[in-house]
């Protein structure tokens, strides 16, 4: 039975994953495709053999097709206009990251969702892999004790990056937002301050700063250190970043590709030794849900159908957004920013 009548806003690269997902759900129908470039909407209609009208205006599309849900897969500069228009028409919104083009917009979008009593959930697909779930469980199970020092490295060269090539803060706002959100997911903690240095090393091929080093502090004194470079040619890390979480009893490692593991001091270690022997804890890859976009969308729909908040609801996601905009502000002003 059809429960959700979906308008797709933004028919670019990323919309393909969202459209394919919606087509496969029995409780959904795509009622309209919207893009400011009508030809992009028409092309997507042909590619997916959809029997629905195309529009350039989101409000017109919602009204003409009696939709109750909008997938906002436009660029971040358009997320505010698309989502607030959708809430004004009584629709729920599932949208792409980053939630907004500024903190002011993000706050206004949450207020609009709350005023309309609608759900607004943001895509954080990097939360949804077997390895990520296992790494989070390893860190939060207590096996390595209390997490005190967290590091993540992201080094990768994305060529033909389209809008990223001319963004002022391509790393922090397009990519690091994923890693910042992952850090909150892994630790279960929200940072209270950030200091960031943003720069373009020799050879950088984006206009805006493609590299940054950020230092986030948590309320309990623990620290998350992030190093990233979007134009780093060779010896790439995974897209998920390379992680180390040092706890009071041991260390958890995830390279972003293979199964995470941890090491802690072995019980048989000689207490007089300079360096203890270690035993290895291997994470169980027990997550059986779908992965990446499909996994995040599954949670959004389950939450909507069950009347609960999704894992990536806007009121929580704004804390990840605050990490990214706080880092941008810190780099600009050369000082530590309280979040
Ligand atoms: N979660 C991920 O892993 C991931 C990966 C890539 C991109 N993204 C995000 O997805 C979003 C889209 O990225 P993309 O790569 O598809 O970009 P894209 O440029 O390929 O497509 C964006 C589309 O939105 C349209 N558009 C812009 N403003 C609009 C508006 N007001 N109304 C209707 N259509 C509008 C554009 O014409 C374009 O067709 C961005 O927010 C990006 O950060 C997420």
206 plus 227 within the same structural domain: yes
Query: Does the CB atom of residue 231 touch ligand 1 within 6 A?
Result: no
Is residue 264 in some structural domain?
yes
Is residue 314 in some structural domain?
no
Burial class (CB in 10 A: 0-12, 13-18, 19+), 287: middle
238 plus 160 within the same structural domain: yes
154, β-bridge pairs = 228
Is residue 238 in some structural domain?
yes
246 plus 269 within the same structural domain: yes
175 plus 192 within the same structural domain: yes
Measuring from atom 7 of ligand 1, which residue has the nearest CA? 14
179 plus 270 within the same structural domain: yes
3-class DSSP state of 287: coil
Is residue 65 in some structural domain?
yes
* Domain count for the chain: 2
110 plus 223 within the same structural domain: no
The Cα 284–Cα 264 span in angstroms is 17
Is residue 298 in some structural domain?
no
Is residue 107 in some structural domain?
yes
Which range marks the domain in which residue 166 is found? 126-290+322-338
Query: Does the CB atom of residue 41 touch ligand 1 within 6 A?
Result: no
The Cα 293–Cα 76 span in angstroms is 18
Final residue in a domain of this structure, among 93, 118, 143: 118
- What values do phi and psi take at 226, rounded to 5? -120, 130
Whether residue 290 contacts residue 313, with contact meaning beta carbons closer than 8 Å, is answered with no
Whether residue 141 contacts residue 187, with contact meaning beta carbons closer than 8 Å, is answered with no
Measuring from atom 40 of ligand 1, which residue has the nearest CA? 75
The Cα 321–Cα 339 span in angstroms is 10
Q: Residue 182 Cα, ligand 1 centroid: separation in angstroms?
A: 21
Instruction: Kindly give the residue spans of alpha helices, DSSP state H, lying in 24-75.
Output: 38-47, 58-65
**Residue in the structure block whose two tokens are 């939360």:** 127
Whether residue 223 contacts residue 165, with contact meaning beta carbons closer than 8 Å, is answered with no
0.95 cut: is pTM over it? yes
Query: Does the CB atom of residue 73 touch ligand 1 within 6 A?
Result: yes
3-class DSSP state of 27: coil
189 plus 89 within the same structural domain: no
Q: Residue 13 Cα, ligand 1 centroid: separation in angstroms?
A: 7
Query: Does the CB atom of residue 169 touch ligand 1 within 6 A?
Result: no
Is residue 185 in some structural domain?
yes
23 plus 47 within the same structural domain: yes
Query: Does the CB atom of residue 44 touch ligand 1 within 6 A?
Result: no
Query: Does the CB atom of residue 108 touch ligand 1 within 6 A?
Result: no
Six-digit token string for 162: 């389209």
Query: Does the CB atom of residue 39 touch ligand 1 within 6 A?
Result: no
Final residue in a domain of this structure, among 92, 118, 144: 118
H-helix or E-strand containing 76? helix 76-88
CA angle 59, 298, 42 (to 5 degrees): 40
205 plus 330 within the same structural domain: yes
CATH classification at residue 99: 3.40.50.720
Radius of gyration of the CA atoms of the chain, in A: 21
9 plus 39 within the same structural domain: yes
The Cα 131–Cα 116 span in angstroms is 37
Whether residue 199 contacts residue 328, with contact meaning beta carbons closer than 8 Å, is answered with no
8 plus 104 within the same structural domain: yes
Q: Residue 195 Cα, ligand 1 centroid: separation in angstroms?
A: 29
Number of Cβ atoms within 10 Å of the Cβ of 2:
10
Final residue in a domain of this structure, among 81, 98, 118: 118
Tens digits of pLDDT across the chain (339 residues): 889 999 999 999 999 999 999 999 999 999 999 999 999 999 999 999 999 999 999 999 999 999 999 999 999 999 999 999 999 999 999 999 999 999 999 999 999 999 999 999 999 999 999 999 999 999 999 999 999 999 999 999 999 999 899 999 999 999 999 999 999 999 999 999 999 999 999 999 999 999 999 999 999 999 999 999 999 999 999 999 999 999 999 999 999 999 999 999 998 889 999 999 999 998 889 999 999 999 999 999 999 999 999 999 999 999 999 999 999 999 999 999 999
Six-digit token string for 16: 């393909």
CATH classification at residue 183: 3.30.360.10
Q: Which residues fall within 8 angstroms of residue 99, CB to CB, at 6 or more apart?
A: 76, 79, 106, 109, 122, 314, 317, 318, 321
Query: Does the CB atom of residue 240 touch ligand 1 within 6 A?
Result: no
Is residue 206 in some structural domain?
yes
78 plus 203 within the same structural domain: no
């Amino acid at each position: 039975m059809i429960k959700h009548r979906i308008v797709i806003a933004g028919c670019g690269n990323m919309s393909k994953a969202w459209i394919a997902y919606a087509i496969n759900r029995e409780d959904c129908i795509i009622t309209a495709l919207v893009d400011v470039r009508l030809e992009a909407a028409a092309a997507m209609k042909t590619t997916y053999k959809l029997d629905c009208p195309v529009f350039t205006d989101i409000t017109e599309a919602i009204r003409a097709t009696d939709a109750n849900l909008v997938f906002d897969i436009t660029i971040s500069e358009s997320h505010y206009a698309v989502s607030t228009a959708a809430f004004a028409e009584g629709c729920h919104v599932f949208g792409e990251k980053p939630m907004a083009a500024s903190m002011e917009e993000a706050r206004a979008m949450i207020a609009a969702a709350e005023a309309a009593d609608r759900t607004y959930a943001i895509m954080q697909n990097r939360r949804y892999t077997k390895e990520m779930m296992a790494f989070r469980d390893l860190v939060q199970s207590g096996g390595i004790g209390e997490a005190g020092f967290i590091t993540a490295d992201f080094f990768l060269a994305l060529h033909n990056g389209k809008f990223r090539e001319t963004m002022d803060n391509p790393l922090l706002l397009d990519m690091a937002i994923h890693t910042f959100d992952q850090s909150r997911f892994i630790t279960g903690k929200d940072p209270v301050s950030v200091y960031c240095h943003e720069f373009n090393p020799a050879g950088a091929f984006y206009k805006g700063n493609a590299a940054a080093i950020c230092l986030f502090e948590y309320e309990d004194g623990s620290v998350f250190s992030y190093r990233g470079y979007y134009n780093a040619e060779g010896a790439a890390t995974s897209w998920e970043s390379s992680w180390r979480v040092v706890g009071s009893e041991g260390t958890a490692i995830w390279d972003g590709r293979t199964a995470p593991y941890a090491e802690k001091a072995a019980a048989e270690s000689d207490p007089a030794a300079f360096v203890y022997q270690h035993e290895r804890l291997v994470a169980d890859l027990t997550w059986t849900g779908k992965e990446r976009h499909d996994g995040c969308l599954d949670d959004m729909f389950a939450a909507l159908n069950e009347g609960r908040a999704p894992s990536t609801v806007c009121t929580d996601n704004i804390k990840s957004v605050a990490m990214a905009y706080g880092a941008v502000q810190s780099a600009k002003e050369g000082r530590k920013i309280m979040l």
